[in-house]
Amino acid sequence: MIVTTTDSIQGVVIEEYLGIVTAEVVYGTNALKDLFAGIRDFLGGRTGSYEKVFEQGQLDAIKELEERARRLGADAVVGIEVDTGTINVDQQGVLLLITATGTAVKLQ
- Please tell me the pTM assigned to this model: 0.77
- Alpha-carbon span 69 to 90, nearest angstrom: 34
Rg, Å, the chain Cα set? 17
42-67 confidence digits (pLDDT tens) = 555 666 667 777 888 899 999 999 99
**pLDDT tens per residue, range 62-84:** 999 999 999 999 999 999 999 98
Q: Into how many domains does the chain fold?
A: 1
**59 is in which domain, residue-wise?**
2-107
Q: What CATH code is carried by the domain that includes residue 96? A: 3.30.110.70
Q: What is the helix (H) or strand (E) element at residue 94, kind and residue range?
A: strand 94-107
